[in-house]
Amino acid sequence: MAAAIEYVRGMFQWTVKREGIIAPDERPPAVQSVALGVQHIFAMFGATVLAPVIMGFNPNTAIFFSGIGTLIFFVFVRGRVPSYLGSSFSFIAVVLSAEAIAGPHNIPVALGGIIACGAVYAVVGLIVMAVGYKWVEFLMPPVVTGAVVAVVGLNLAPAAIGYMTSNRPATDNFGILVGVITALAVAIVAVYAPGMLRRLPILIGGVFGYLLYGLLSNILHFGGPFIDLNSIGAAPLIGWPALTSPKFDMHAITLIVPVAIVLVAENLGHIKAVATMTGRDLDPYIGRAFLADGVATMVSGSGGGTGVTTYAENIGVMGVTKIYSSLVFVIAAVVAILLGFSPMFGALVMSIPQAVLGGMAIVLFGLIATTGARIWVENKVDFTDNKNFITAAVALTIGAGNLVITQGDFSVGGIGTACIGALLIYQILNKFGLGQKAAEPAA
């Protein structure tokens, strides 16, 4: 009992620091801490809301469970790894495939797969806590993790285009026009906006696209369908999040579980990045972080939320502000939970036109794909080595082509087959020493 009390006490102790770099176990003054927490909400907001909308999930519920998941993560790592857990884009493609089982938008079946994925992820965390994380780096070197991350973005590309073109005649380019302008707005904010605004490209670009669509459609009648403003006004300001019970289906589970590989690679990279920024050794917390993220994903899926993961957007904000206090993320989590209790907020999010969603998705999914290339560059992956060259080539082709393997009730989608393929091919070539240098890439 005394040990448990001391554990909790250690989590909620922060030394006040008013200037300079602020470490995870320190905090700014109270007012500044609250302001920074709200800022982190804005940083994750665009992506965390966009993911559930694309998957057909309730955005209120997703925001609510992102806050719950962040608090779970905080407790498991004792507040030593400052991170926010938001909706993971790695789930989108496999969840959309799983939802098609037994009819369109079968959310309960997808939730069962998300829970199973979280369970596998949590088990990986327990193994890392027991034996360390070096085996993860051995199984998933940068060439594999980069390929897996890139595959997620490439596999999602058709969904982004579909949002701008679905339910429209081939000659109707209104959705494409708004989507492309929205994507351009996101890009301009990301590159040219001043200060912290540069960290909010999805949010600001999305708001611009929403207003543009409303002007062109609702006011000038250049295209449609109109934004339904009545549903926003009719929604109550305060209400309970809509909860959905999961249903376990082996087909959906086998589609979604391989995403755990992506989450492990993603979380490991984020923890390493935070460790570099804070100057703290966070290796002892890697297993705890995996376990926490897995448990948070299971809890989220149990109530109708998306799978969650640590967010690069919030890590970017920490890099700019040099404030790494874990208290700031506790505040952000509480604000997110409160947003989950506003159906009016959910109605506003659900009113976002598909064309605008498509524009935001073009940038986000593209960034996921190029993040894989960034992993290769930052880790100096040698593509003159056939071992690396072929591993990446096969994984990208399988993932972009969405190779699905089905045997009875067992099915693995394109992301899963690409992940497994990358792991097996690299280890086979590495084991047998088939990594001779290539004079030049094959034509």
213/153 Cα distance (integer angstroms):
26
Question: Domain segments of the chain: what residues?
Answer: 24-381
pLDDT of the residue at 233? 84
Model pLDDT for residues 352-400, shown as the tens digit of each residue: 888 998 898 888 888 878 888 888 998 899 999 999 999 999 999 998 8
Could you tell me the two tokens for 123?
Answer: 């088990």
Peptide bond into 225 cis (omega under 30): yes
pLDDT of the residue at 433? 57
At 85, is the secondary structure helix, strand, or coil?
A: strand
Least confident of 210-224, 243-257, 268-282, 400-414: 400-414
pLDDT of the residue at 439? 46
Top-confidence range, 146-155, 170-179, 298-307, 316-325 = 298-307
Strand extents, DSSP E, 263-389? 308-310
The secondary structure of the chain in percent helix, strand, coil, rounded to multiples of 5, reads 70, 5, 25
Q: State phi, psi for 104 to the nearest 5 degrees.
A: -70, 150
**Is the distance from CB of 92 to CB of 235 less than 8 angstroms?**
no
pLDDT of the residue at 336? 93
Provide mean pLDDT across the span 172-177. Answer: 87
Which residues does 400 contact at the CB level (< 8 Å), separation at least 6? 151, 154, 155, 157, 414
Model pLDDT for residues 307-349, shown as the tens digit of each residue: 999 887 787 778 777 888 999 999 999 999 999 999 998 888 8
pLDDT of the residue at 443? 44
Q: Model confidence at 7, in pLDDT bands (50, 70, 90)?
A: low
pLDDT of the residue at 410? 65
Ramachandran region, residue 380 (left: φ > 0; alpha: ψ -120 to 50; beta: rest): left
pLDDT of the residue at 442? 47
pLDDT surpassing 90 at residue 127: yes
Could you tell me the two tokens for 279?
Answer: 């100057």
pLDDT of the residue at 188? 93
pLDDT surpassing 70 at residue 405: yes
Could you tell me the two tokens for 142?
Answer: 């940068």
pLDDT surpassing 90 at residue 270: no
Model pLDDT for residues 30-85, shown as the tens digit of each residue: 888 888 888 788 777 777 888 898 888 998 999 999 999 999 999 999 999 999 99
pLDDT surpassing 60 at residue 436: no
Predicted TM-score (pTM) of the model is: 0.82
pLDDT surpassing 80 at residue 16: yes
**What is the percent of the chain where pLDDT is above 70?**
92
Nearest to 42 by CA among 311, 327, 326, 350: 311
Whole-number average pLDDT of the chain = 86
Q: State phi, psi for 406 to the nearest 5 degrees.
A: -125, 135
pLDDT of the residue at 5? 61
Provide mean pLDDT across the span 218-227. Answer: 84
405 vs 195, residue with greater confidence: 405
